[in-house]
Amino acid sequence: MKKLSALLLAIVAAGASGSDASTLELRRGDRICLVGNTFAERFQLFGYFESGLLAAFPELELSVRNLAWSADEAALRPRPLDFGAVDRHLEAQGADVVLLFYGANESFAGNEGLPAFRNDLARLLRHLSGQRYNGSEPARIALVSPIPQQALPSGRGLDAAAVERRNVDLRAYAGAAEAVAAENGLPFLDIFDGVAAAFSDESAPLTINGVHLNEAGYRHASRVLLEALGAPAPGTVVASAEGGAGLEIRPPVLPPGPEGNPAGLRISVRDLAPGYYALRRGDQTLAAASDKDWARGLDLQAPSLITSLVVAGDGLRRVVRRKSRLFFDRYRAVNGYYIYGGRKEPFGVHSFPPEMVRFDQLVGDLDDEARDLARSSEIWRLERVDR
């Protein structure tokens, strides 16, 4: 009996070949760090991206750290006294993968600012690409595009013409980032159009002010970013039986997504030997069909099972949010002047180092809990049966 978890891991690895500059390779145990501006920083408030990432790739046992800082630019990252440059914190977190979010702030300079933005971003990429934050190999880096601005109802922001002009500039800076990524042989994750489509499709605003996404906006943006990273659509399982007669299927937990909680699961299984197959949960038959129908995909309607997967996904998101807040309190401590600044000596050196160690332990414990929750406890069997 083949196990789907191992097969899915093989599919992920094959689809994320490091030889293809357009694709970001994710590996087992990767620490993924977000670096950039306000858009990136606010992902931590809602937990949709990280919980969706862990649920999409449970066997990779990933972890995420948000090192973004509001208003950061590629060449302008002011920090408190002795806080340390981004290298210090990427090394402290052992970053394997770095997602860079730049271009939104810089876009206010318009066309005149494009050459400087390209130069600044290229300089930053050259520096980051040469670092071994995990102590063994260069960080894998991808650039993420800016997102568009949303036109809000009259009186709640810029008029439609002004928003259109802003989006021309934002798209230009997204194009500049894509060009710099290509020049440096790095992946570019273009989410501009996906977020723009969400703005068009939803009747309610997805931003709080036209610029910064609200919670619903981050549900959509997280889904678009996950798709750019190669994650399957929510509620979708695609596997290969490699010509065998059956396999075990561990369904994904289902964190809330832009389209709401899926009403069912769609399961596709390729490369089954010819025959008729039943998907079973213990003694319960969930679906039965020919190998050709399984290859095309079957919609599994099982409300009680879907509900249990949604509850598990919501639990995962709650743990991710707790961990993100705890890490923020450690990374951006309000009493930083005593931890690393002007009063580190002689006051902070006595009490704060052990507290920081304890923070790191608590964050690590929540990482472990999130990884456990991302792996569904359900195991279903696909077996060859007589019609």
pTM above 0.85? yes
**Any residues with CB less than 8 A from the CB of 48 and at least 6 apart, and which?**
218, 219, 222, 223, 255, 256, 257, 317
Q: What is the pLDDT of residue 15?
A: 41
Q: What is the pLDDT of residue 262?
A: 63
Helix (H) or strand (E) holding 265: strand 265-270
What's the Cα-to-Cα distance from 132 to each of 116, 181, 254, 381, rounded to whole Å?
A: 27, 19, 34, 42
Whether residue 346 has a cis bond before it, omega within 30° of 0? yes
Give the residue among 266, 259, 264 at the shortest CA–CA distance from 295: 266
Q: How many CA atoms lie within 13 A of 264 on its CB side?
A: 10
Domains of the chain: 20-228 (3.40.50.1110)
10 Å CB burial of residue 151 (0-12, 13-18, 19+) is buried
Give the number of other Cβ atoms within 10 Å of residue 214's Cβ.
Answer: 17
Q: What is the pLDDT of residue 2?
A: 44
- Per-residue pLDDT of 122-160, as tens digits, reads 999 999 999 999 999 999 999 999 999 999 987 777 888
Parts of the chain with a pLDDT under 50:
1-19
State which amino acid sits at residue 71.
A
What's the Cα-to-Cα distance from 252 to each of 212, 236, 319, rounded to whole Å?
A: 30, 8, 17
Strand 63-66 with 31-36, pairing: parallel
